[in-house]
Amino acid sequence: MGDETLTVYYDGACPLCRAEIGHYRRCRGAERIAFVDVAPEIPDSRLGPGLDPDAARRRFHVRDADGRLCSGAAAFARLWSVLPAWRWLGRLVRLAPVLPLAEAAYRAFLPLRPRLARLLVRAR
């Protein structure tokens, strides 16, 4: 990682994920983030230690400049903390009582992701 403060791993084969990452790429502060597509055709070597391709496609992951990897709601909180317009939400989600609730909501969302992605494709 060059000057990036964070590496974001996302499933570029998922239209919902692509749309969300597209939004984050346009945010102020995104120039400090490396976005890595983990779609099946992308080489595994771009994932770094502790992250396998299947896990990277199943859950949202970020790695900080020190190499620490996190996933799910904690990963979103970490991403948001780097983006000035989202920083308030990153701080809120990282609070001890909020993070477990956010993780539960994220886990509840995961089974819906494929259906929402299909709806997004049909709507276009």
**pLDDT computed for residue 28 by the predictor:** 96
- What φ, ψ does residue 3 adopt, rounded to 5°? -90, 5
Give residue limits of the domains in the chain. Answer: 6-123
* Better pLDDT: 76 or 113: 76
- Please say whether the dihedral angle defined by the alpha carbons of residues 24, 26, 30 and 34, taken in this order, is positive or negative: positive
What pTM value is reported for the model? 0.88
- Residue 52: pLDDT above 70? yes
Per-residue pLDDT, averaged over 6-31, amounts to 93
Confidence label for 63 from pLDDT (cuts 50, 70 and 90): very high
Q: How many CB atoms lie within 10 A of CB 72?
A: 19
pLDDT of residue 1: 43
For residue 15, give both structure tokens. 């239209």
